Amino acid sequence: MILDTLENADRYASLHPLFARAFEFLRRADVATLPDGKHPIDGDALFVIPQHPKTKPPEQRVWEAHRRYIDVQYIVSGGIERMGWTTLDRLTQSQPYDEQGDHTFYTGEGCADVDVRPSQFAIFFPHDAHSPCLAPPGEPVRVIHKIVVKVAVEV
């Protein structure tokens, strides 16, 4: 897992052949105006999903992990989104892997929660489990604007 600001994103471009293009896309002036839904950048190898989810209290936490895609979760606006991170060996699988959705869901205790603010991103690799869309303690649930970039592991 990586947490940083878009300003520092170039530091991570060498970690994957498509990261530079992903960060370039997030820097576009019109990125905040994209409608929700899937927007291909490079077919199924690289695409973005703008969304406006409502945060939820930590007791409604759901752990997930992906096999075919790396998630770059970028907060556009709406306040802080708390995201949990942990290693897969700390969790128990609660649903079988869904190949079409590229996700497996889990239960268990995490390692860390991080608060991701507007203009920040978190990167979750297939060996990371994450629990997105949590409201930080003491803050009300709210609608946030985020963009999830899906980067194919194998290109």
Taking only the tens place, the pLDDT of each residue in 45-65 is 999 999 999 999 999 999 999
- Which pLDDT band, with edges at 50, 70 and 90, does 127 fall under? very high
* pLDDT tier at 42, thresholds 50, 70, 90: very high
* The amino acid at 84: G
Look at the chain and report how many structural domains it folds into: 1
What digits encode the pLDDT tens for the residues 11-38? 999 999 999 999 999 999 999 999 999 9
Q: How many residues comprise the chain?
A: 155
Res 150: pLDDT: 98
State the average pLDDT over residues 79-90.
96
Report the CATH number at residue 138.
2.60.120.370
What is the pLDDT at residue 46? 98
Distances in Å between the Cα of 25 and the Cα atoms of 1, 48, 62, 138 are 20, 9, 28, 33
Here the contacts of 139-143 (C-beta below 8 Å, separation 24 or greater) are 139/79, 139/80, 141/54, 141/55, 141/56, 141/57, 142/54, 142/55, 142/78, 142/79, 143/52, 143/53, 143/54, 143/55, 143/78
Confidence of residue 111 (pLDDT cuts 50, 70, 90): very high
The pLDDT-based confidence of 1 (bands split at 50, 70, 90) is very high
- Predicted local distance difference test score (pLDDT) of residue 24: 97
Chain centroid to Cα 64, Å, comes to 10
Distance from C-alpha of 13 to C-alpha of 49, rounded to nearest angstrom: 20
- What predicted TM-score, i.e. pTM, was given to this entire model? 0.96
pLDDT for 10: 96
Are the C-beta atoms of residues 55 and 144 closer than 8 Å to each other?
Answer: yes
Please give the Cα distance from 11 to 49 (Å, whole number): 23
Domain that holds residue 96: 2-152
Contact 116, 83 (CB under 8 A): yes
At residue 144 the predicted structure's pLDDT band, cuts being 50, 70 and 90, is very high
Phi, psi of 109 (to 5 degrees): -95, 140
